[in-house]
Amino acid sequence: HETIWRESFPPSLFSDLSGKMFTFPQKTNTDYVSLTASIQDFSSITVCHRSFTDLKRDHILFSLSTPSNSNDFLIFWDDKNKELEPHIRDQTVEYGWPDYKPNMWHSICTTWDSSTGLVQLWFDGQPSIRKYISSGSNIRGRPIIILGQEQDSHGGGFDINQCFVGMMSDVHMWNYILSPCEIQSYVDIQNFTPGNVLNWKALNFQITGRVLIEDKLKTCY
């Protein structure tokens, strides 16, 4: 069982994290992973990730800010209302999702297209309805992408009561809308086209604080 942790993990050059996960083991407003994106202008986006937590409070799942918008592309769990909330261009919609259960892996994919303004969630392979959120302008500017903390400013403004505690793996991001079949392949851990913006198999990241890289928990047969 391999564990890697340093107080400040040096920037990596495209590490292959296949079979690995980030472990966020404590409630803080200082521990996080920053991801470097290869693109700075998005007319459409798909983000997929897997997470595992026992939190019974609000928490962040994915946070992308730009200099003009701290919530340019954000995925948040509202525990009081049991809702997954995509925030895009500082606008938000809510999806009631009672199946977001603790202590198990969940695969969540989020898609958005600026031309239609429609957002859609795929939760463990089940699609939501499409909802209008924001259209007419791209997400543009130097993105700061954070796992583990929610940005209320560009690269900062972390709230300890919104931090993520648990494990996260298989983070991918594309600058286009994945087809339903591609999303299903991701959920089923089959062959799929890796993200061309963020690729878990070639990830440029930096760890700040107590976040560990560990072997992903596997089911024994």
Residue 15 lies in a domain: no
CATH number of 75's domain: 2.60.120.200
Q: Which pLDDT does position 180 carry in this prediction?
A: 96
- pLDDT: which is higher, 8 or 148: 148
Q: Which pLDDT does position 12 carry in this prediction?
A: 52
Residue 31 lies in a domain: no
Residue 83 lies in a domain: yes
Give the C-alpha separation, 92 to 74, whole Å: 9
Give the C-alpha separation, 13 to 206, whole Å: 10
Give the count of domains, the chain. 1
Model confidence over 131-141: pLDDT tens digits?
999 988 899 99
Residue 5 lies in a domain: no
Whether 51 shows a pLDDT value over 80: the answer reads yes
SS3 for the chain is CCEECCCECCCCCCECCCCEEEEECCCCCCCEEEECCCCCEECEEEEEEEEECCCCCCEEEEEEEECCEEEEEEEEEECCCCEEEEEECCEECCEECCCCCCCCCEEEEEEEECCCCEEEEEECCEECCCEECCCCCCEECCCEEEECCCCCECCECCCHHHCCCEEEEEEEEECCCCCHHHHHHHHCCCCCCCCCCECCCCECEEEECCCEEEECCCCCC
Host domain of residue 42? 38-212
- Average pLDDT for 101-130: 96
Give the C-alpha separation, 92 to 85, whole Å: 7
Model confidence over 65-110: pLDDT tens digits?
999 988 999 999 999 999 999 999 989 999 998 789 999 999 999 9
pTM attached to this predicted model:
0.91
Residue 65 lies in a domain: yes
